[in-house]
Structure 1
Amino acid sequence: MRSISLALRLWMPLMLLLGSAQAFAQDDTDGLLPVTEAYKLSTDTSTPGVLKLHWTIAPDYYLYRGRMKFKGGDGITIGTATLPDGEKHHDEYLGDVETYHHGVDASIPYTVATGTTRLTLSVQYQGCHEVEPKICYPPHTEKLDLPLPAGAPIAATDAPAATAPTLGSALNRFGGKTDAGAAPGMDSAPLPPEQAFRFEALARKPDELLLRWTMPKDYYLYRDQTVLHVKNADGVKLEPHWPAGVVKGDPHFGTTTVFFGQVELPVTVSGDLGGRKSLDLEASFQGCQDGGLCYPLMTRALTVDLSGGAVATGTPTDGPAPEQPPARDTLDVSLWSALLLALGGGLVLNLMPCVLPVLSIKAIGLIEGGESPARRRSHALMYTAGVLVSFIALGLIIISLKQAWGSQMQNPLVVSVLALVMLAVALSMSGVVQFGTSLGNTGSALANRSGPAGDFFTGVLAVVVASPCTAPFMGTALAYALAAPTLNALLVFLMLGIGLALPFLAVGYVPALARLLPRPGAWMETLKQVLAFPMYLAAVWLAWVLAHQRGADAVGLLLVAAVLLAMTLWWFERSRSRGAVSRALVVVLLLLAIAPVYTLAKLPAPSHTEPATDGVVAFTPAKLEELRKAGTPVFVDMTADWCITCKANEHTVLDTDAFRAQLKQAGAVYMKGDWTNEDPAITAFLDQYHTPGVPLYVVFPKNGGPGRKLPTVLTGSLVEQALVEASK
C-alpha cells in the first residue's frame, strides 16, 4: 500500500504537467476516491443575489479553507464569499491553516449584468486524504452553469467591482493584518522539470567538480534522494560534500534535508582518470514545489570538461532534451575578457537615462570639487569608494542569493524608499532644507556634498539607481560573474564599479581635465537648484513603477508619505534654533512618514492585468511550446516597467508600425513577458539564456531550431534580419 501511495505521489505532478484531464489515475486497490466523490459539491440558487454552495466531504478527507477561490463568469460580478471558521492546525507544508471535515457551506453574493441569462461561476478547491495513503489532490476547478433565478440583482453600470480596493481602505490598514494568502508556490502551475531544477557542473580541478542546482522561488531539492554516477569510467568514484541545508519533515521520507534557491555541491573525484580530458556524469535527484506537488525522479546526464572553465548543463536521459541556447550564448569567457567587458559596461552606465539623477549630483560635486587639487582628489576618492563598496556589497548579495541583476526593483519597498530618497535630495538641492555633515545622519550624508561622507553616499546612491539598467557589454560580464568562482565574480563587480566611477575619478586626478571645469561662483547655487528637477522626475518615474507593481492605492500611500516627508524636512529646518521638544517632533513626523511605506509594501499585486495589446501574446512556457510545435516563429520580449533600456527599445523599435509589418511578413508571434513583479517562469527563462536581467530578446525560428538571443539594445535592421532568418 505504501509503494502505491509513493508511486501516486511521484506521478501526480507529471500528469499535471502533461495536461492530463484527470487529476491522477485511480486504482481500485488503493482506496482513494475521485476528487468529485471525495468532495461532492451541490448548489442552491433559491435566494436571489446569493449562491449557496455545500460540500459533502467523505470520511478521512478534508478541504483547505484558504485554497477556495471563486470567479464569476460572463456578466456575473461576485462579492466576498462567506465561509465558516475551520479547524485550525499547523500544516507541515502550508503553515497555519484551517480545514473542514465532513461538510462545509459557503455563501457568495453576486450581481448580474443586463441581458445575462445564466449564472456561471468557477469554483476552485483543494483537499487531502489524511490517512494512508496520505496524498493531496491538485487544485480542482468546477465550472458551474446554473439557471439564473428570478429577481437576481442587476449590477449598476457605473458601479466599481465589488472587490476593487480603495485608498481609504488601504489607509485604514495602517499596522493591520493583511489577508492570509495562499501557500507559497501553489497559485502557479508547476514549471517543467528542466526549468524548475536547472542542473550544471564544472571542473575546478581534474579531481574536484562543482555541481549546481538552481531552483526558482518556492522550489526545493531533496539531499538524500540525490545519486551521482560516473559512466564509462571503472574505478572512478565521486565523494560529494554537501553544505548545510534546511531540515524539513516529509510524509514519505521523514525528517530530511532540502535546499531552496540554489545549492552548490563540491565533489571529490578519486581513482585513476587515465589522462581523461572529460568525465561523463549522470545525476538522479528529486524535488518539490513548496506547498504543492512533488516531481518524479529526474535523471540528467552531462559531460564535464576536466580542463576547467566550461559550464556543462545537464539534459534529461528519459525524454527529449530541453532546448538549449546556441553555443555563442554559453559562458565560455575568460576572466580578462569579462573584466574588460565589465569596465566598458560601467563606463556606459554613466550615459544611461536611469542614471540621470545621479549625474546631477555628480555634476554639482565636480563643480564644488574644483576649489583646489586636494579637494578634487578627496571628492573623487570618496565618491569612488562609495561606488566600489556598493558594488562589492551588491555582488556578494547577488552571488549568495543568485538574484538577477536589477531584481531589487521588483520589491515595492525598495522602489518607494528610493522615490522618497530622490525627493529628499531634490528638496535639499532646491534649498528647502540644509543637512548637516554628521555621518550618523544618513539623510544628511546623502544630500550634503561638502564632506567626505556626502561624497561616499553619493557613490552609493549612484550604484543603487544605476543597477536596474543592464547596459550593453554588461550582460556577458554579469553572466560570467554568476557562474564563476566567488573571487572572480567579485573582481567583475569591482571592475563595473571602476567603470562607473572612472570619469569622476579622472577629473579629480588629471589637471588638464580639471582646467576645463568652470570657475566657482554665485551661479553654482542656481545650477544646483535647476538640477534638482531631474531628481523630482526620478521620484515621479519610481511612483509610476510602483503603480504597476501594487496599483493606485500604493501610489496614494506613497504620496501621503512624500507629503509627510516634506513636512518632516520643513520642520527639521525650522527646529534648528528651537528646543528639544521641537527636535523630538521631527522624529514623530519621520515615523508618520514611514508608516505609509510600511503599509504599501504589504499590499497585494493588482489582480487585474493590463488590457491585451493587439498582436501581443503574454509569455507562458506552455504557450511558447505550443507555438513552436505549430511551426510558428516567435519573438520573445522579456521586459519590466523599471527597465529604462526596455522602454527605450519599445519606443524606438518594438512599438512601431515597421516592427508590426515585419512580424506580419514573417508570420511571427510577438510574445511579451512582464518581469516588473517576480515571476518564476520568466526567471527560469532568463536563467536558461544565461541572462542576469532584462531586457532579453530571443527569436525562435519556425523550423524548431534553437532560439537566437539578440543584443540588449535593438535596432530596426537587426530585428528585421532576425525575423527574416526565423521565417525561413
Structure 2
Amino acid sequence: MRLIHPGRLAARFLSLLCLLWLALPALAQDDLDGLLPVTEAYKLSADASTPGVVKLHWTIAPDYYLYRGRMKFKAADGATLGEAQLPDGEKHHDEYLGDVETYHHGVDATVPYTVAAGTTELKLSVQYQGCHEVDPKICYPPHTEQLTLPVPAGAGAAAGGDAMGAALGKLGASKSGDSAALPAEQAFHLEALAKDRQHLLLRWTMPKGYYLYRDQTALKLKDANGLSLAKPEWPAGVEHQDAHFGKTTVYFDQIDVPVAIEGDTAALKTVNLEASFQGCQDGGLCYPLMTRALTIDLGAATPTSGVEAQPAPEMPPAGLATGALQVSLLSALLLALGGGLVLNLMPCVLPVLSIKAVGLLESGESHGKARSHALFYTAGVLSTFALIGIAIVALRSAGHALGWGAQLQQPLVVGVLACVMVAVGLSMSGVVQFGTSLGNVGSGLASRSGHAGDFFTGVLAVAVASPCTAPFMGSALAYAFAAPMINALLVFLMLGIGLALPFLAIGFIPALARLLPRPGAWMETLKQVLAFPMYLTAVWLIWVLAHQRGADAVGLVLVAVVLMSATLWWFERSRSRGAFSRVAVVVLLALTVVPLFYLSKVQAPTQVAQTADGVVAYSPEKLAELRKAGTPVFVDMTADWCVTCKANEHAVLDTDAFRELLKKTGAVYMKGDWTDVNPTIAAFLQQYHSPGVPLYVVFPKDGGEGRMLPTVLTSSLVEDALTKAAGTPVAANP
C-alpha cells in the first residue's frame, strides 16, 4: 500500500476545495444561499496605535470557525515582522487536515514589527482560512486582506535601521501593549559599587512589569591594564519562554550581581566598567542592546549609575551577598541535626508519627522487629531528603528559584497529599488494611508489607514536614541552598537523621524500648483514635487548596477523596471475591485520577491586594516608598501551608499587643503571601538568603539595612526589633 505524505495530502485537499468552490454555484446553489461572504463571516479589524505592535481582531460569525495554523502575515518592503502571538485554539482532529486548532466567536493576534525611521505607513498582508461547520460543512479557500495602517511617530526609532533593530522587533511580541514604554534609563537603572578592591556589586532596578535577560548581558573592564572580570554570580531567576531566544532566564524588579576582579588592583583608584544588557516590557516592546559606562571607586563603596546623578537605593553590605556561606559545613550539619530532631515536635509531623508509634507498639518486646521498624523508616526518610536535595541542586543549577516547602505551591501536590492522608486514616480506622495488621495475617506477607509500610511512613513524614521550619533549620537550609552539591546533600541527609533519630534510638537501645507499654487490645482503639489527626491534616490541606485555586479545586479534590474511599472500601471487600471485583477496583482507581487531572488545569482566582486591619500587601515599590518616607516596616513573608507561619501569627502577629506596638512605633505591617507561586516574593526571599517561609525582616526608619528575625517569634523579640527600628539605627545582619 502506497502512503501519501501528509503535506501532499493537505495540498491535494486544498486544491480540491478550490475546485469545489468554483463548481459549487452550479452544483449546490441551494446549499450556498445562507453562506456569508468571507469578510462578513470573519470581520477583521486592525490597530497600530501602539509603537512597534499591530493588534488584529477577528469577529467570527456563529457556526463559523478559523484555522489557527492557516494564518499568515507578510509586510511590504521596508518593514520587518516579528513572530505573531496567537492564543491556543480548540484542539480537535480534522478529517482532512489531521490535528488542528480552531477559533470560534472571535480571536485576537498581535504582530510586532520594525520599520525604518521616518516611516509613516505599514502595509500588511493577512491571510486566513475558515469553514462553515453546520451540515453541509463548507470551507472557504484561503483569503488575503491587504491592510495599510498609519505608523505612530517614533515607531521606527527602536529599530535603528539596522539588523539589531530587526531582531529586536522579533523580541517585542506584545500581549497587551496597554502602556507606553519608559525611556531605557528609567526602565533599567544600573548602579555599582566596590565591596572591596577585588569584588564589585552590580544592581539593576526595573519598575514593575519590566524584566532583564540574564544571557544577553556582557560585562568588561576598559583600560584595565591586564585586569579582567570573573564570571558574574547570577542568582536564580525566572524561567521565561521567549519568542526569539526560546527558553531563557529573566529577572524582575531588582537584582544584585556580585562579580570579582581578576588581577592586582593595588595601584588603581578606580576601574571603568562597561555593561551591555537587554530587557523588555512584559507584554510590550523590547529594548535595543543598551551599553552603560561606569567608573567605580575602589576605595569607597559609593554607588555609581552610568547615567545622570540621582539618589540610589541602599546597596546591601558585603557580608549579605555571601551570608549563606558564612556558616561552616560542620555548623550547618549540627544545626540540621538539631532542626530534624525538633521537627518531631512540630504539629505538621505529629499525625504521621502516630503511625510510627503504632508500629513500634505492635513490635512489643521483640528487639528485632523494633530495629526493623526503625531502619526501614529511616531509609524512607533519608531517601526522600536525598531526592529533595538532588532536585533543589539540579533546579538551582538550571536557574530556578526554589524554597523549602515550595512543592505545596502546586495544587496537584496538595490534592494528592490530601487523598493520601484520607487513605492512611481509613487504614487506621479499619476500613482497609495496608501492610501488617494486628491480626498478623501471614507472617511472610506481613514482613514484606511491614518493611514497605515503614519505608512509606518515612516518605510521608518528610512530605508533611516541609510546611514546617523548625528552630535551627533556617541557617542549615540557607547554607544548603547556596552550597556545592555534596555539602548540600550532606545537610539534607543530616536533617533526615535528626528526624529519624528518636525511632532509631528506640529500635537499637533496648532500655528505651522497654519503656514502651505492652501491646494489647487497647492498641486497636488507639490506632483508630490516631486516624482522626490524619483526617484533620487532609482538611487543612484542602483549606490550603481553597486559598490557592478556589471552590472549583476543592470540589474536585472532594470528588477524588470520595472515589478513592470507594476504591479502598471495595478493595477490602474484593480480597475474597473473583477477578471481576478486582477489575472494579482498577476502574474505581482510574476514576479517582480523573478529578485530580482536572485539578491541575484549574487557574488561580484573581488576587486582590488586601489592606484590611492595617496590613499592607507586599510590593517592592510600596516598600521603597515607605522606606523613603522614613517609616519603619515589619515585613512578613508567609504562606497558608506554612504551619510555623500560622503558629507565629496566632501567638504574636494577630494579637492586640502587636497592633498596639505598631501604633507606638509608627511601623507598618507589610505581608507577602507565598501560598502560590510568586516570583516577586521569591526574589525577596532570595535577597535575604532565606530557604523559604516564614521570613521576617524589620526595616528601620533611618534607611539602614533590614534586620532578619528568627523563624519562631516571641512577643519580646518582636518588640525589641520594632523599638530599635523606630529609634536607634539597626546594625546590618552578619
User: TM-score scaled to structure 1, two decimals?
Assistant: 0.66
Equivalent residue for 1:366?
360
Change (3 A) 1:520 1:298: farther
SS at match of 1:662: helix
Change (3 A) 1:605 1:668: same
1:633 deviates by 1.2
Segments of 5+ residues of structure 1 without an aligned counterpart are: 1-52, 69-82, 100-106, 109-124, 135-181, 305-311, 438-446
Change (3 A) 1:519 1:292: farther
Are 1:62 and 2:54 an aligned pair?
yes
- Which of residues 386, 389, 398 is equivalent to 1:392? 386
SS at match of 2:669: strand
1:366 deviates by 2.1
Q: Is this contact kept in 2: 1:422–1:535, CA < 8 A?
A: yes
The 1-side partners of 2:608 and 2:361 are apart by 47
Q: Is this contact kept in 2: 1:435–1:448, CA < 8 A?
A: no
SS at match of 1:614: helix
Q: Is this contact kept in 2: 1:634–1:669, CA < 8 A?
A: yes
The 1-side partners of 2:666 and 2:332 are apart by 38
1:619 deviates by 0.8
Q: Is this contact kept in 2: 1:92–1:249, CA < 8 A?
A: no
SS at match of 1:354: coil
SS at match of 1:130: strand
Are 1:343 and 2:329 an aligned pair?
no
Q: Is this contact kept in 2: 1:240–1:266, CA < 8 A?
A: no
SS at match of 1:636: strand
Equivalent residue for 2:623?
624
The 2-side partners of 1:599 and 1:197 are apart by 44
Equivalent residue for 1:49?
none
Q: Is this contact kept in 2: 1:89–1:96, CA < 8 A?
A: no
The 1-side partners of 2:388 and 2:192 are apart by 25
Segments of 5+ residues of structure 2 without an aligned counterpart are: 1-43, 60-64, 74-80, 90-104, 118-172, 397-401, 437-445, 728-734
Query: Deviations along 1:528-558, whole A, 9 cap, x unmatched?
Result: 1111110000000000000000111111111
SS at match of 2:708: strand
Equivalent residue for 1:598?
597
The 1-side partners of 2:405 and 2:419 are apart by 19
Query: Deviations along 1:415-456, whole A, 9 cap, x unmatched?
Result: 00000000001101110011358xxxxxxxxx9995211111
The 2-side partners of 1:715 and 1:582 are apart by 57
The 1-side partners of 2:314 and 2:427 are apart by 53
Equivalent residue for 1:286?
277
Of 370-379 and 402-411, more deviation after overlay is shown by: 370-379
Change (3 A) 1:300 1:724: farther
Change (3 A) 1:602 1:343: same
Equivalent residue for 1:47?
none
Total equivalences in the alignment = 570
The aligned amino acid for 1:619 is Y
For 1:269-348, list aligned pairs within 5 A.
284=275, 286-288=277-279, 292=284, 294=286, 322-324=313-315, 330-331=323-324, 332-348=326-342
1:383 deviates by 0.9
Query: Deviations along 1:321-380, whole A, 9 cap, x unmatched?
Result: 654556776221111111111111111111111112112122112212344222211211
Are 1:680 and 2:676 an aligned pair?
no
The 1-side partners of 2:417 and 2:291 are apart by 45
The 1-side partners of 2:238 and 2:644 are apart by 38
SS at match of 1:451: helix
Are 1:130 and 2:113 an aligned pair?
yes
Equivalent residue for 1:502?
501
The aligned amino acid for 1:364 is V
The 2-side partners of 1:539 and 1:657 are apart by 31
Equivalent residue for 1:456?
455
User: TM-score scaled to structure 2, two decimals?
Assistant: 0.66
CA root-mean-square deviation? 5.2
1:487 deviates by 1.2
1:393 deviates by 0.6
Change (3 A) 1:226 1:327: closer
Equivalent residue for 2:347?
353
Identity of aligned residues (%): 59
Equivalent residue for 1:407?
406
The 2-side partners of 1:198 and 1:422 are apart by 51
Equivalent residue for 2:162?
none
Change (3 A) 1:451 1:219: farther
SS at match of 2:478: helix
- Which of residues 194, 198, 213 is equivalent to 1:221? 213
Q: Is this contact kept in 1: 2:82–2:112, CA < 8 A?
A: no
Q: Is this contact kept in 1: 2:700–2:725, CA < 8 A?
A: yes
Equivalent residue for 2:421?
422
Change (3 A) 1:468 1:64: farther
Of 55-64 and 336-345, more deviation after overlay is shown by: 55-64
1:589 deviates by 0.8
The 1-side partners of 2:259 and 2:607 are apart by 47
The aligned amino acid for 1:130 is Y
Q: Is this contact kept in 2: 1:300–1:317, CA < 8 A?
A: yes
Query: Deviations along 1:440-476, whole A, 9 cap, x unmatched?
Result: xxxxxxx999521111111111111101212221111
